[in-house]
Amino acid sequence: MIAINDLKRDEISELMSQLEQPAYRATQICDWLFRKRATSFDQMTNLPLNLGKHLAENYTIKLVELEEEVVSPEDGATKYLLRLHDGGYIESVFLPHQRGATLCISFQVGCAFRCRFCATGRMGLTRNLSPGEIVDQVNFVRFYLAESNPAEAGRGQPTRPFTNVVFMGMGEPLANFENVVKAIEIMIQEVGIGSRHITVSTCAIPEKIVELAQLPYEIKLAISLNSPSDQSRREIMPEAAKFSISEVLSAARYYYSKKKRLLTIEYVLIADLNDSPEDAEALARLPAGLPVKINLIALNPFPGCAYRRPTARNVKKFVSLLEARGMNVTLRKSLGSDILAGCGQLGMLAQVKGKPQGG
């Protein structure tokens, strides 16, 4: 059965006109789905009974359900292990910071890219998330946090406890392109998240970056480069490195030409693999005029990870070498790493729970 919350407003409007319903029914249904997070058609009390009955017989509403919540005592980062309708699991992470908070969401169950330093990469891909499952992570967290906040009680709709949404959770967003774009459109139209507050992080599929650039949204792009040379990139990101760094950067250049938004280059520092002064020099040369911010993060190890985190001294040296070359560098503090919710650590809990999907 089709999940009605996988549909955008224009598709729901189309359905209403087929059912000979007035146009405003689409607004009512979208309100119930995306602003009130209705869990069943019974709750849609302003729809005529026969329409409610028709929808209930022909459509479902596929939402995520909380399986487990883990709060980091160190920094308040919260990981939500969420159950899908078919028994699969994904994770979303709420990341509080000084000026607000960010929600990191997933877009696939597992990942086909198998980056060797990433926990999700070890799972392999089970399936893509649907648009509704992607959007509902945002809504689940909004409503869940509002329920636990007395100041919000009694409001029809919760305020947004986070300012930004980042597609940096489980999977590769550009490998589930259509659903990710549709989810973004629903977030913009129905949930009220501006495209400038959305970041898509990719291990870099050049043709999809070009496609994303052609859409009329101001989404921020982050590219997980993780290595300044194709050779060492192949070692840590065997699938992603099928595209050369120069192909990736020319797609990024095209993206910049269309959007004029600063590109983020993400770089996970791994001891003895990509953390040498020569690597820093090579990395500094890559953008060649393209405005970028380099976002460094020291590897977050997880049980069974084959690589090591570099020493604080090496990290510092890497940062200062880039700065000396005039680069805009940030060193990302990994929030939630004590609860395995740090970057690249998602999937461990999901894997334990979702035994049948193996891994």
Tokens 């999901």 sit on residue:
350
Residue 127 CB partners (closer than 8 Å, separation 6+): 88, 108, 109, 110
Q: Which is nearer to ligand SAH, 344 or 354 (CB)?
A: 344
Q: Which is nearer to ligand SAH, 32 or 107 (CB)?
A: 107
CA distance 310 to 332: 14
274 forms part of the interface with ligand SAH (CB under 6 A): no
Residues 156-185 that bind ligand SAH (CB under 6 A): 168, 172
Residue from 202, 274, 314, 357 in contact with ligand SAH (CB under 6 A)? 202
Closest separation in Å from C-beta 344 to ligand SAH: 2
Closest separation in Å from C-beta 255 to ligand SAH: 14
Closest separation in Å from C-beta 299 to ligand SAH: 5
CA distance 125 to 114: 9
Structure tokens at 303: 């049980």
Closest separation in Å from C-beta 319 to ligand SAH: 16
Could you give the angle at the alpha carbon of 237 between the alpha carbons of 234 and 241, nearest 5°? 55
104 is catalytic: no
Q: Residue with the closest Cβ to ligand SAH? A: 344
300 forms part of the interface with ligand SAH (CB under 6 A): yes
347 forms part of the interface with ligand SAH (CB under 6 A): no
Q: How far is CA 267 from the centre of its chain?
A: 17
CA distance 210 to 328: 24
Q: Which is nearer to ligand SAH, 158 or 344 (CB)?
A: 344
Strand partners, 291: none
Residue from 139, 201, 314, 351 in contact with ligand SAH (CB under 6 A)? 201
Closest separation in Å from C-beta 17 to ligand SAH: 38
Closest separation in Å from C-beta 343 to ligand SAH: 4
| Per-residue H/E/C for 33-81 | HHHCCCCCHHHCCCCCHHHHHHHHHHEECCCCEEEEEEECCCCCCEEEE
**Binding string, residues 47-86; x marks residues near ligand SAH by CB under 6 A:** ----------------------------------------
91 is catalytic: yes
CA distance 129 to 109: 7
Closest separation in Å from C-beta 273 to ligand SAH: 12
Q: Which is nearer to ligand SAH, 27 or 229 (CB)?
A: 229
E strand residue ranges, the chain: 2-3, 59-60, 65-71, 78-83, 89-97, 100-104, 108-110, 125-128, 164-167, 198-202, 220-224, 263-269, 292-298, 328-331
Q: What is 172-208 written as a DSSP string?
A: -GGGGHHHHHHHHHHIIIII---GGGEEEEES--HHH
Tokens 């309708």 sit on residue:
85
224 forms part of the interface with ligand SAH (CB under 6 A): yes
Tokens 């309100």 sit on residue:
31
Q: Which is nearer to ligand SAH, 258 or 332 (CB)?
A: 332
Residue 215 CB partners (closer than 8 Å, separation 6+): 181
Residue from 33, 123, 146, 203 in contact with ligand SAH (CB under 6 A)? 203
Q: Which is nearer to ligand SAH, 132 or 344 (CB)?
A: 344
275 forms part of the interface with ligand SAH (CB under 6 A): no
User: Catalytic one among 30, 91, 111, 266?
Assistant: 91
From the CB of residue 6, how many other CB atoms can be counted at a distance below 10 Å? 21
User: Catalytic one among 30, 115, 203, 343?
Assistant: 343
Q: Which residues form the catalytic set?
A: 91, 343
- Applying CB under 6 A, the residues found at the interface with ligand SAH are 117-118, 168, 172, 201-203, 224, 226, 266, 268, 297, 299-300, 343-345
